[in-house]
Amino acid sequence: MTERPSRSTRTARGVVLVHSSPRALCPHLEWAVGTVLGEPVSCEWREQPAQRGSMRGEYYWEGPVGSGSKIASALHGWEQLRYEVSEEATATTDGSRWMHTPALGIFHVQTDTAGNTVVSEDRVRHAIEQAGFDALALHQQLRMALGQAWDDELEPFRWAGDLAAPVVWLHRAG
């Protein structure tokens, strides 16, 4: 009979996307993430075209289940950052995503194995109760539950990051 690993030894993986950071904080961010993961972390930092003078970087991580939460908490103290931390779902645990912007603070949402946002039944019921019979209010409540305000604020930084990435041209053959 094979023993199941304890929850603390199960491995999860995810990504840290720092969308904008002052240049001076970059080594401190690497140190903070490395402290959580118990290993040195080195990101490839690039200029962030969406905000002059700031940097963007990403790091793909692997560690114990729950590391995503610890990473998001470690980055939370620097309010001028824009970042996302994700932890993929495992066979026995849900995934998660944390988003942070200076204007909105931090937002957490559960994700499924495909990376889709999962809104709980209780959260949907709360949205319905808050909205009453007002369709526009329900729309606003559901957008809040999905983290739409954070996505809206981060999207220009995501696009700018994509524009700074190396381009791979695909050609149609045949």
pLDDT tens for each residue of 26-71: 999 999 999 999 999 999 999 999 999 999 999 999 999 999 999 9
pLDDT tens for each residue of 73-120: 999 989 899 999 999 999 889 999 999 999 999 999 999 988 899 999
Q: How many CB atoms lie within 10 A of CB 49?
A: 15
Of residues 10, 141, 33, the one with CA closest to residue 81: 33
Q: Which of 107 and 1 is assigned the larger pLDDT?
A: 107
> At residue 152, does pLDDT exceed 90?
yes
Q: What is the pLDDT of residue 10?
A: 77
